[in-house]
C-alpha cells in the first residue's frame, strides 16, 4: 500500500529555499527584460542609421528618448588642446581612453563635446596619450549618445586643472562647467572615417539578447533544481511517486 504523502520542513532549509528561489526567479525575469531592452535598442539603432543626419542646432531642447542615437551633423572648429580623457576604456584587451574634444560652432556661440573614439594608453599610467589635433573648420557626422543611466562613481569626481582633463565618467554638468558657455547636453560620438575620428566602431549593444536569455535560463534552472531538492529533502515525495514504502526503500 502506498504510504501517504507527508511533509517535514526543517526551518533552516526552508528559510534558505524561501529566500533563494524567489531571488533566482526574479533574476531570471530581469534577464528576460534586459534581453527585450537590448533587442529594442538594436532595432532602434538600425533604424537610426538609415536616417539623414540633422543639424545639431535643430536637436536642442528635444526629449532625451528622441535624441538617443540620433544622427547629426556638426559644423565648427575644435578648440586646440581642449579635450577630456575618459579613463579605463578597454578594447580587445587593451587599456586606453575615449577622447571627448571640445568643439565650437562657427559663430562661437555654442559648444559640443565630440567623442572622437578610443586611443591606446600606457598601462603603467606613466604618461597620457598623444592625441592628434584637428585644425580648421570641419563638418562632422556622428550620433548623439544619451547614457542609459547615471554614471557609476566610487566617490566625488574633481576635475583637474588645465587641459587635457582626465575623467572617470561623463558627468555633463561638470564637464559643461569646465568648458564654459552654452554646451549641448549630450556628447556626439563621431562616425568612423570622419575628420578627427580615432578608433570609433561604437558597440551599441554590449551583451546580445541571446546571452541575456541564456542567463535567464540558468537562473530559472537553478531555482527549479533548488526547489526540487527542497521537496525531495523535506518530504517522502519520491517514495510516494514511485509507489515505494519506507520499508521497501
What was the pLDDT predicted at 247?
A: 47
Mean pLDDT across the chain: 85
What was the pLDDT predicted at 148?
A: 73
Whether residue 151 is predicted with pLDDT greater than 70 in this model: the reply is no
What was the pLDDT predicted at 142?
A: 92
Whether residue 224 is predicted with pLDDT greater than 50 in this model: the reply is yes
What was the pLDDT predicted at 249?
A: 46
Whether residue 161 is predicted with pLDDT greater than 60 in this model: the reply is yes
Q: Identify which of 10-24, 95-109, 155-169, 192-206 has the greatest average pLDDT.
A: 10-24
228 or 47: which carries more pLDDT confidence? 228
What was the pLDDT predicted at 203?
A: 74
Strand partners, 166: 85
Q: Please tell me the distance from the alpha carbon of residue 102 to that of residue 182, in angstroms, as a whole number.
A: 12
pLDDT in tens, 50-100: 788 889 888 888 888 888 888 999 999 999 999 999 998 888 889 999 999
pLDDT in tens, 174-193: 899 999 889 999 999 999 88
Lowest mean pLDDT among 17-21, 177-181, 214-218, 224-228: 177-181
What was the pLDDT predicted at 205?
A: 61
15 or 241: which carries more pLDDT confidence? 15
Residue 192 contacts residue 201 (beta carbons within 8 Å): yes
Residues 6+ apart with CB under 8 A from 26: none
Query: Grid cell 570641419 — which residue?
Result: 138
Q: Please tell me the distance from the alpha carbon of residue 106 to that of residue 100, in angstroms, as a whole number.
A: 19
Closest Cα to residue 54, out of 43, 70, 69, 39? 70
Cα atoms in the Cβ-side hemisphere of radius 13 Å centred on 118: 15
147 or 247: which carries more pLDDT confidence? 147
Residue 10 contacts residue 234 (beta carbons within 8 Å): yes
Give the pLDDT mean for 164-172. 90
Query: Grid cell 559648444 — which residue?
Result: 111
Give the pLDDT mean for 238-248. 64
What was the pLDDT predicted at 206?
A: 63
Residue 70 contacts residue 56 (beta carbons within 8 Å): no
Whether residue 128 is predicted with pLDDT greater than 60 in this model: the reply is yes
Amino acid at each position: 500500500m502506498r504510504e501517504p504523502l507527508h511533509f517535514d520542513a526543517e526551518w533552516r532549509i526552508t528559510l534558505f529555499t524561501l529566500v533563494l528561489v524567489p531571488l533566482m526567479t526574479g533574476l531570471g525575469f530581469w534577464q528576460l527584460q534586459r534581453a527585450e531592452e537590448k533587442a529594442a535598442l538594436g532595432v532602434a539603432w538600425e533604424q537610426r542609421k538609415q536616417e539623414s543626419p540633422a543639424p545639431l542646432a535643430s536637436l536642442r531642447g528635444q526629449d532625451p528618448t528622441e535624441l538617443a542615437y540620433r544622427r547629426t551633423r556638426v559644423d565648427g572648429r575644435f578648440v586646440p588642446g581642449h579635450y577630456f580623457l575618459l579613463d579605463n576604456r578597454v578594447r580587445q584587451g587593451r587599456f586606453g581612453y575615449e577622447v571627448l574634444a571640445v568643439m565650437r560652432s562657427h559663430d562661437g556661440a555654442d559648444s559640443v563635446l565630440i567623442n572622437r573614439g578610443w586611443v591606446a594608453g600606457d598601462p603603467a599610467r606613466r604618461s597620457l596619450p598623444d592625441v592628434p589635433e584637428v585644425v580648421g573648420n570641419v563638418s562632422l557626422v556622428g550620433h548623439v549618445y544619451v547614457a542609459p543611466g547615471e554614471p557609476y562613481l566610487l566617490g566625488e569626481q574633481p576635475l583637474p586643472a588645465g587641459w587635457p582633463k582626465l575623467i572617470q565618467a561623463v558627468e555633463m554638468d561638470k564637464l559643461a562647467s569646465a568648458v564654459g558657455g552654452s554646451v549641448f547636453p549630450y556628447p556626439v560620438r563621431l562616425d568612423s572615417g570622419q575628420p578627427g575620428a580615432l578608433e570609433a566602431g561604437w558597440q551599441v549593444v554590449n551583451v546580445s539578447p541571446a546571452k541575456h536569455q541564456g542567463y535567464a535560463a540558468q537562473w530559472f534552472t537553478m531555482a527549479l533544481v533548488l526547489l526540487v531538492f527542497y521537496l525531495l529533502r523535506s518530504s517522502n515525495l519520491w517514495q510516494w511517486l514511485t509507489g515505494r514504502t519506507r520499508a521497501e526503500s
